[in-house]
Structure 1
């Protein structure tokens, strides 16, 4: 049946042409933008993932900048530390020369004075962007004993984010500390302000009836203590007549508390540190003895209760950073041979500390370089991942464009033919 009111063929041809034009618009949009998913309406899930990952990549770019700044700061400190090592070595050489008979100590002192001035000048000028790690003042407002470099940005499974940091403890690398209570590697040692009340304890024995021998190494550790540089707390633990020397230093604290600042804040932390120190000394803190805080005290308890099971603490004490003098104030003009020998030994210890600090800085610098390379590669990987989700395949879109253009032309032709069918109805009335 032919109808002048409804042209079904034209309607079908029109709908087909509209669908083709719509697909053509999508393809042309992909070609012009380069994206298969340019808006949330294109694919909400992919768009959301891509947007989040692009944001994370911007954060990674900032992390890379932070690593660059950190690398520069470490490089400045390391360069100065390496030079300081040479000057200290030169001072040691001058001191050795001063032990020769008949030498003019005042003239050697004048050379040492110049080297001392160079050392202090070097430390104070080892600054990058206002940050100086070699010449510090631990009593200054806002001072932080730990400097952190942002090293990573991680998005967790629960969509929270975590910043990873590379920490550098200034107590291990600073050459000079202007604070009266602090000590750099080349400063005179400062006695510990607190040592947790480490104490000698008379021998205690088990009673064979369930009560073990107990000794309180620290009578009151509530005030805490900070160990920096070469600070040490030491004592002898005499267990069943066998003496074991135990030492607590900054490394012990940082290992026990997973920290970098050497701070023991309370008795509970002191118990953890003491447990670590005993373990380091070769004592089994499970089967030989146990360690626990008892109020503000920190106690060692024998693992068994026999009458022959005894414990005793002896030779308890604490030390400063080990330096009996400051390298910047050595004066041998009128020093005796014994005093010069003391200076030589002390300077040699300082040289070892500075060499160790330079080694640590070198390791940090190497880690920063590796992390920077990793972050760069990670950013590239994220870009490739986002590309797989949202970028348009230009070869595919080009082929689709040509096919749709042909379909468009055929649709126009089909619509034209369908509209022409109505004209043939007129011939019925001639």
Structure 2
């Protein structure tokens, strides 16, 4: 080996090794600090890009979940109105049945008729007030509502069910009586209206179940996407911790090796001592 004070190959090799160790140590410390083995595009461009796309998909599902939750609430409000409406129809049927009794006096008949009209008006009010966020599935103003179903903008469509007086065939013209015979004839009309209302509520209930199921699926899908991203970019901290200890020891040895290599030119001085 050339003995030179200008060039020290041993020190150069030791410095290269120490710099390599320091680079690995910095990488390991960054992984420990961030918890990620791929924190930026320069760590691994392909993996980083894939993780970013999947993270974006997962984040967009939050909007889907919000939309489906609004759908659930809209249906729940309609169902609540429907329960009230079916109760009102049952009471209306009770009133016309009582009014069909020919033994009633005029005052009693008129009282039953007034109660009947009041109940009929409450049905319309219940249908009109069955709104969530200004939207209703029961007032007859819309035919269907579409809620987000996936991150691509697909829709989950819910058919509206008209529970207004018109939708149930209980308009004032169709449900008016002035005598016992007319009251009796309305019994079949109200029975039919009650059946119609329960059928429509059944449809809304089925739609609500569908929304619940899809919302659960979207939640599981989002969890799976998040777990997949974690598998791509998250660091194994147990492994990184063990590697940190190894690199710190290697760094200390590298410093000592560089120190020894730097002492080599000093031995040349002994050649010039007389």
Normalised by the size of structure 1, how large is the TM-score? 0.60
Counterpart for residue 379 of structure 1: 222
Post-superposition shift, 1:340? Answer: 3.5
Partner of 1:22: 23
Aligned partners of 2:29 and 2:244 also within 8 Å: yes
The correspondence for 1:168, drawn from 146, 149, 158, is 158
Q: Distance in 2 between matches of 1:83 and 1:344?
A: 19
* Equivalent in the alignment of 2:75: 74
Q: How many Å apart are 1:101 and its aligned residue? A: 2.1
**1:115 counterpart = 2:119:** yes
Q: CA deviation at 1:166?
A: 2.2
**Distance across 2 between alignment mates of 1:30 and 1:113:** 74
Corresponding residue for 2:176? 331
Whole-angstrom CA distance in 2 between matches of 1:74 and 1:151: 16
Asked if structure 2 preserves the Cα contact closer than 8 Å seen for 1:117 and 1:328, the reply is no
Task: Measure, in 2, the Cα distance between the counterparts of 1:185 and 1:55.
Answer: 44
Q: Is the 8 A contact 2:140 2:167 kept in 1?
A: no
Q: Distance in 2 between matches of 1:382 and 1:353?
A: 44
Q: 1:49 maps to which residue?
A: 50
- Deviation, 1:99, is 2.1
- How far is the alpha carbon of 1:41 from its aligned partner? 1.0
State the distance in 2 between where 1:44 and 1:377 align.
Answer: 28
Gaps of 5+ in 2: none
1:167 aligned counterpart, secondary structure: strand
The aligned runs of 1:120-199 (5 Å cut-off) are 120-137=124-141, 144-153=142-151, 162-170=152-160, 173-176=161-164, 184-187=166-169
**Where does structure 1 differ by over 3 angstroms across 4 or more consecutive aligned residues?**
339-342
How far has the Cα of 1:369 moved from its partner? 1.8
Q: Which moved more, 1:361-370 or 1:44-53?
A: 361-370
Task: Work out the number of aligned pairs and report it.
Answer: 269
- Residue 120 of structure 1 contacts residue 328 of structure 1 at CA under 8 Å; is this kept in 2? no
Q: Matches of 1:63 and 1:131 in 2, distance apart?
A: 18
- Partners of 2:95 and 2:116 within 8 A in 1: yes
Alpha-carbon RMSD? 1.8
Q: Structure 1: state its 5+ residue gaps.
A: 138-143, 154-161, 178-183, 188-324
Is residue 106–residue 332 contact of structure 1 (8 Å, CA) maintained in 2? no
Asked whether the 8 Å contact 2:15–2:258 carries over to 1, the reply is yes
Any conservation in 1 of the 2:123–2:164 contact (CA below 8 Å)? no
Taking the aligned partners of 1:373 and 1:409, their CA distance within structure 2 comes to: 54
Q: Mapping of 1:344-363 within 5 angstroms? A: 344-363=187-206
User: Which aligned pairs between 1:186-225 and structure 2 lie closer than 5 A?
Assistant: 186-187=168-169
What pairs with 1:395-414 in structure 2 (closer than 5 Å)?
Answer: 395-414=238-257
Paired residues of 1:148 and 1:167 also in contact (CA < 8 A): yes
Structure 1 residue matching 2:162: 3-state secondary structure:
coil
Task: Give the Cα separation in 2 of the matches to 1:413 and 1:106.
Answer: 109
Partners of 1:327 and 1:347 within 8 A in 2: no
Identify, as 1 or 2, the structure richer in helix: 2
CA contact (8 A) 1:34 1:391 kept: yes
CA-CA distance at 1:327 after TM superposition: 5.6
Deviations 1:225-265 (A, max 9, x none): xxxxxxxxxxxxxxxxxxxxxxxxxxxxxxxxxxxxxxxxx
CA gap of 1:167–1:328, structure 2 versus 1, over 3 A, is farther
Q: CA deviation at 1:45?
A: 1.3
